């Protein structure tokens, strides 16, 4: 479909692959736009009953593109990330996320929006916003819905890395799977989901996500405004520039 996101369909599964290695699949304007386009194609593909979201390279998603945020603010970017989460939640087909590498900050909002998340036991997660003077604002609409309140407090306030087993216990991940078994388990789940009738899948997902959708719609404007204000603050701008200029 595009330069940073690829789409292919086979055996009733539409596979969307994030492939932006230069910034570790960060949620740049281009990547988000291409991902939205691919999700729309999958939604309209009558031969597809399940959507699989995965990544190429070592990192699933590193979060917001801080270089774009530091240069041009985050109002449009925050609104786009809310829209992306909403699109995944309302897609009329189940969305399965296959995670085999690190997921950070905004990337966690994507997997929280997905219906089923299968993660390599060695994958790691972190809500790192607090370290940069930010808050997990727009992604809180999905992330805090999935996680227990105690887990959300620990991970959001601490900003520390946690593993896939912890992510599963917290409610963020469906299953933590040994690396050698991940592809088999993903294929098994997708094949099982694909046996559902289109109407059954669509309506079952609508019922499952009714409360999550209401939460997204009710909190979107407030969280976009908060995110934009925090990204535009002097404290956060200094922290982002320091992070971007750190020795590699």
Give yes or no for a contact between 234 and 75, defined as CB atoms under 8 angstroms apart: no
H helix intervals, the chain: 29-44, 66-72, 75-90, 106-113, 140-146, 149-158, 164-170, 182-193, 198-208, 210-231, 234-244
> What letter does residue 100 receive in the DSSP assignment?
-
Close Cβ partners of 117 (under 8 Å, ≥ 6 residues apart): 96, 97, 99, 111, 172, 173, 174, 175
Please give the Cα distance from 18 to 61 (Å, whole number).
Answer: 8
Please give the Cα distance from 210 to 233 (Å, whole number).
Answer: 34
Sheet holding 50-55, edge to edge: 5-10, 13-18, 50-55, 95-99, 116-120, 175-177
Please give the Cα distance from 42 to 117 (Å, whole number).
Answer: 18
**Quick count: other Cβ atoms within 10 Å of Cβ 114?**
25
Give yes or no for a contact between 68 and 99, defined as CB atoms under 8 angstroms apart: no
Catalytic position from the list 8, 71, 122, 129 = 129
Give yes or no for a contact between 121 and 168, defined as CB atoms under 8 angstroms apart: no
Q: Is 203 a catalytic residue?
A: no
Active site residues: 129
């Amino acid at each position: 479909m595009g330069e940073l996101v690829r789409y292919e369909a086979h055996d009733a599964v539409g596979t969307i692959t994030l492939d932006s290695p230069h910034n570790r699949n960060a949620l740049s304007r281009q990547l988000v736009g291409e991902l939205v386009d691919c999700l729309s194609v999958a939604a309209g593909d009558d031969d597809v009953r399940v959507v699989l979201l995965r990544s190429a390279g070592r990192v699933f998603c590193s979060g917001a593109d801080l270089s774009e945020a530091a240069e041009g603010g985050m109002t449009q970017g925050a609104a786009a990330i809310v829209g992306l989460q909403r699109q995944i939640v309302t897609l009329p087909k189940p969305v399965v996320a296959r995670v085999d590498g690190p997921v950070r900050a905004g990337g966690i909002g994507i997997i929280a929006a997905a219906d089923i998340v299968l993660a390599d036991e060695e994958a790691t997660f972190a809500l790192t916003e607090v370290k940069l003077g930010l808050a997990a604002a727009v992604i809180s609409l999905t992330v805090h819905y999935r996680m227990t309140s105690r887990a959300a407090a620990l991970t959001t306030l601490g900003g520390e890395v946690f593993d896939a087993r912890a992510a599963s216990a917290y409610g963020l991940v469906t299953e933590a799977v040994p690396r050698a078994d991940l592809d088999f388990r993903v294929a098994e789940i997708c094949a099982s989901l694909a046996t559902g009738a289109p109407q059954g899948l669509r309506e079952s997902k609508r019922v499952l996500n009714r409360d999550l959708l209401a939460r997204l719609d009710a909190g979107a404007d407030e969280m976009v405004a908060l995110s934009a204000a925090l990204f535009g603050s002097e404290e956060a701008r200094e922290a982002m520039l320091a992070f971007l200029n750190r020795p590699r």
